[in-house]
């Protein structure tokens, strides 16, 4: 098609499109029907209406205002870009506490157009846009890869990390055949030990209304007590995070799933995840250090795999973002997660991009030196 004809067709389509921005919680609450109509069935739980609204309400005091953009065609919603504003930054809702934020749209073209319109508006007041966790294959990743939305910005891309994943096919025996011989032997050895020494151990899989506040309290206690093995503080120490969980785990569309490994009344380990759209999202795991000799995380995860396979609950298992070594005992497949920052084309924006590039250069080299000298040692064990 001739370029002038393409331009003419584009203008004709754009005449029917408009972009609105909602900046209040009350307006956000009114989006439920449109949001659910646009949400793809295989979208991650962090893209659901319930999760986004709960996050906005729980974290409302931590930012200036919602900035949810809605692309409409002749008044009907076509795409939703869930953002919030803090100072001169626009960020994806839930970005600092969740994984896989994305645009909500059925059509990738509409998602891309919506994001381009958002960035066009952001250029005039010289706003900065931060996309903290952009997964390969997501709508926002596809839109940004066209390079149209970042016109007029200094763009900085950082590889945040991999997200290991694996397909779930066949039955448990077939799944085991796909593991290394050593891994199969380890699973058998650990199962024999825990069943021999702790014959009262049991595994429970909870969903929906079975995930009560008492269940959240119990897993939160385990997580807080054992966070010392990793950097940072427990997310369960943040009352806002707990509020998001309390408001969403029983929502059917979110698909929350809790696996518990117990010995009598003693909670040895848990996995907090989601089962949605044929995929299991493995989100938060913790175990009691007093039971470390039983490798309760490994035992519980292997039982979770078996549960999903035997009940045909999922065809994909997603470990989410993070290169913890234990994940690669189950799979070698991964997708990349990026942090993409669009900075204003100004001296300050150029300086900020230069600082980010310098950090990217120095951080892995300093970390490697610290590891070699024994001053830093990643501590992962399940």
pLDDT digits (tens, 9 = 90+) for 78-124: 999 999 999 999 999 999 888 898 999 989 999 999 999 999 999 88
> What strands, in cross-sheet order, belong to the sheet with 83-86?
65-66, 83-86, 89-92, 128-135, 334-344, 153-167, 316-318, 279-287, 266-276, 256-263, 201-207
Q: Is pLDDT of 5 > 60?
A: no
pLDDT range class, residue 281, cuts 50, 70, 90: very high
Q: Report yes or no: 128 and 344 within 8 Å, Cβ to Cβ.
A: yes
| Average pLDDT value for residue range 56-69 | 96
| Average pLDDT value for residue range 343-348 | 82
CA–chain centroid gap for 234, Å, is 17
Q: Is pLDDT of 60 > 60?
A: yes
More confident residue, 37 or 4: 37
pLDDT of residue 6: 35
pLDDT range class, residue 359, cuts 50, 70, 90: confident
> What length does the chain have?
382
| Average pLDDT value for residue range 356-377 | 74
Domains and CATH numbers, the chain: 3-162+336-372 (3.40.630.30), 169-314 (3.40.630.30)
Strand partners, 76: 73
| Average pLDDT value for residue range 241-269 | 97
- Can you tell me the distance from the alpha carbon of 44 to that of 34, in angstroms, rounded to the nearest whole number? 17
| Average pLDDT value for residue range 68-78 | 96
Structure tokens at 365: 């080299």
Q: Report yes or no: 269 and 296 within 8 Å, Cβ to Cβ.
A: yes
Q: Is pLDDT of 12 > 70?
A: no
Q: Is pLDDT of 368 > 90?
A: no
Strand partners, 207: 257
């Amino acid at each position: 098609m001739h370029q002038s004809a393409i331009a003419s067709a584009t203008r004709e389509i754009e005449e029917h499109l408009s972009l609105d921005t909602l900046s209040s919680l009350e307006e956000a609450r009114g989006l439920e029907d449109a949001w659910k109509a646009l949400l793809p069935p295989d979208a991650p739980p962090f893209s659901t209406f319930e999760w986004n609204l709960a996050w906005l309400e729980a974290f409302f005091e931590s930012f200036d205002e919602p900035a949810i953009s809605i692309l409409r065609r002749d008044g009907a919603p076509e795409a939703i870009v869930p953002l919030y504003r803090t100072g001169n930054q626009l960020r994806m809702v839930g970005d600092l506490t969740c994984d896989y934020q994305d645009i909500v749209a059925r059509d990738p073209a509409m998602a891309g157009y919506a994001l381009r319109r958002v960035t066009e508006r952001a250029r005039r007041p010289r706003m900065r846009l931060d996309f903290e966790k952009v997964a390969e294959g997501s709508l926002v990743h596809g839109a940004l890869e066209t390079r149209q939305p970042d016109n007029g910005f200094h763009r900085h891309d950082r590889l945040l990390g991999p997200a290991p994943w694996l397909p779930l096919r066949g039955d448990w025996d077939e799944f085991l055949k796909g593991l290394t011989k050593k891994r199969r032997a380890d699973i058998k050895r650990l199962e024999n030990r825990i069943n021999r020494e702790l014959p009262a151990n049991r595994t429970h899989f909870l969903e929906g209304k079975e995930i009560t506040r008492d269940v959240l309290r119990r897993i939160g206690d385990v997580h807080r007590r054992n966070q010392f093995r990793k950097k940072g503080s427990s997310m369960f120490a943040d009352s806002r995070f707990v509020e998001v969980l309390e408001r969403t785990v029983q929502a059917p569309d979110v698909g929350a799933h809790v696996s518990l490994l117990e010995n009598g009344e003693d909670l040895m380990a848990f996995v907090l995840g989601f089962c949605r759209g044929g995929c299991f999202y493995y989100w938060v795991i913790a175990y009691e250090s007093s039971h470390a000799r039983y490798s309760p995380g490994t035992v519980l995860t292997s039982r979770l795999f078996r549960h999903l396979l035997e009940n045909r609950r999922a065809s994909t298992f997603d470990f989410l973002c993070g290169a913890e070594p234990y994940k690669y005992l189950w799979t070698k497949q991964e997708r990349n997660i990026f942090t993409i920052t669009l900075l204003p084309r100004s001296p300050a924006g150029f300086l900020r991009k230069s600082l980010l590039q310098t950090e990217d250069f120095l951080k892995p080299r300093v970390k490697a030196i610290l590891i070699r000298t024994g001053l830093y040692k990643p501590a992962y064990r399940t």
